[in-house]
Amino acid sequence: MMKQIRVLLLFATVFILTAFAEVDRVVILLIGDSTTIGNIPRKINPEGPQLEKMIEILLSMEGDLPPAEVINLGKGGETAKRLLENGRYDKEIANIKDVDYIFVRLGINDWFRCENLEEEFPVQLKAVLDRLKKDHPKAKIFPSSICRFMSHEKCEDVNSLIYRTAKEENLELFDLYPAYHRFLLENGENSLNVRNYELNRIPQKYHAMLESYVHVDWKERKMVQVNDIHLDPIFGHLPGWYFDHHPNTTGYNLIAVETVKFLAPIIRNDLNEKQ
């Protein structure tokens, strides 16, 4: 009897793996703002994989899933309204072929720019989701809560609107915020953030030692960008040293881990249903 069970289990395993092998790849699309891009300057982080690559790596380590291609179309300053109105959606997103899963993380810049967030943002987010449904009818679309960028209370205000919109649109929510917020509570308020600071605000005597950390930002300013806490003992007392709340590599890795925790069972279930 035990031998028969082992044979049946072996047959089932081979059958499942064969079915999975028939799927060449899964295509995952990331849409969002600068917290989605994952583009810590290579000069600062030359070795670490960016967000999309880390998601691909972690999914491959599941062992029973087809290869994943992650397309990252995050853009700094993006809002739901701007994504549709400036033509970027039509040029970059509408015509991507064979997308299986779409993550949409918007809301941070909407909080800054909407005159009436509660009235405007849900309508604008719904417009993005409706376009995605129309242009990618076979894809599963996951609205995502934002990561910690403003205060906890302000983030909750934004996320409550995302939760409501996802429910109204009958879409499954990828709730990133709790894990991100919990990590900050457990490891320090700035443990997931880059340090991004104008060089000219740092005493001249330190400039030579900071040469490898300097990059020029979109405003043509020389900025010191640090990807972890190791310079905090030297510069942590400077006003605004912790002002930038964009994710550092740790933050992006946390986003990747949570994405894979959420998505891997969904891919598995979808593949089983296709058998």
Give which of 67, 75, 84, 82 is closest to 36, Cα–Cα: 75
**What pLDDT shows up at residue 230?**
94
Q: What is the pLDDT of residues 48-62, one digit of tens each?
A: 668 999 999 999 999
Domain with CATH 3.40.50.1110 in the chain: 12-186+247-273
222-226 β-sheet, strand order = 195-198, 222-226, 214-216
Give which of 34, 134, 43 is closest to 84, Cα–Cα: 134
* pLDDT at residue 2 greater than cutoff 60: no
**What pLDDT shows up at residue 42?**
53
**What pLDDT shows up at residue 24?**
86
Q: CA 225: distance to chain centroid? A: 20
Query: Structure pTM?
Result: 0.87
Q: What is the pLDDT of residues 258-273, one digit of tens each?
A: 999 999 999 999 998 8
Confidence class for position 38, pLDDT limits 50, 70, 90: confident
**What pLDDT shows up at residue 54?**
94
26-32 β-sheet, strand order = 68-72, 26-32, 101-105, 140-143
Instruction: Answer for the pair 37, 72: CB distance below 8 angstroms, yes or no.
Output: yes
* pLDDT at residue 40 greater than cutoff 90: no
Pick the range with the lowest mean pLDDT from 115-124, 125-134, 198-207, 210-219: 210-219
**What pLDDT shows up at residue 47?**
57
CA distance 275 to 272: 5
Average pLDDT along the chain:
90
CA distance 140 to 132: 10
Task: Indicate the helix (H) or strand (E) that contains 130.
Answer: helix 117-135
Buried b (16+ CB within 10 A) or exposed e, 196-207: bbebeebeeeee
* pLDDT at residue 15 greater than cutoff 50: no
* pLDDT at residue 130 greater than cutoff 90: yes
CATH superfamily of 12-186+247-273: SGNH hydrolase (3.40.50.1110)
Pick the range with the lowest mean pLDDT from 22-26, 140-144, 175-179: 22-26
Provide Rg for the chain, Cα atoms: 21
**What pLDDT shows up at residue 209?**
96
- Between CA 267 and CA 273, with CA 54 as vertex, the angle to 5 degrees is 5
* pLDDT at residue 193 greater than cutoff 70: yes
In the chain, the percentage of residues whose pLDDT exceeds 90 is 81
What residue type is 133 in one-letter code?
A: K
Give which of 66, 61, 78, 58 is closest to 24, Cα–Cα: 66
**What pLDDT shows up at residue 139?**
97
**What pLDDT shows up at residue 49?**
65
CA distance 158 to 117: 8
Q: Which are the contacts of 170, defined by CB distance < 8 A and separation ≥ 6?
A: none
Confidence class for position 23, pLDDT limits 50, 70, 90: low
**What pLDDT shows up at residue 11?**
46
* pLDDT at residue 12 greater than cutoff 90: no
